[in-house]
Amino acid sequence: MRKLIAFDDDTFDKLTQLGRDRMATIQELADEAFADLLKKHGIPVDLKDALRKSAALSKTAAPKQTRSETPRKAPSKAPRKSRS
């Protein structure tokens, strides 16, 4: 998918120079920048990251409570109807 992004002249010149220094294209710099942004916000970049995050969540999930450990509900205090 293609999207058009505008840069001011100074930023574009700096990105171009960084690309030359690292022998990378603007596209490669953009891919790295967006991957870092997604990682910063906890969004998996690819399937491998998504599976890793899912596995980590399942390991840290609280263990299920057994029936004896679950809190009991207090008896209802609604008035009872008398049978006549």
What per-residue confidence (pLDDT) applies to 13? 97
Q: Is 15 helix (H, G, I), strand (E, B) or coil?
A: helix
User: Tokens representing 14?
Assistant: 């700096």
CA distance 24 to 21: 8
Q: What is the pTM of this model?
A: 0.58
What per-residue confidence (pLDDT) applies to 60? 79
63-81 per-position pLDDT tens digit: 665 565 656 666 666 666 6
Pure H helices in 23-79? 26-40, 47-60
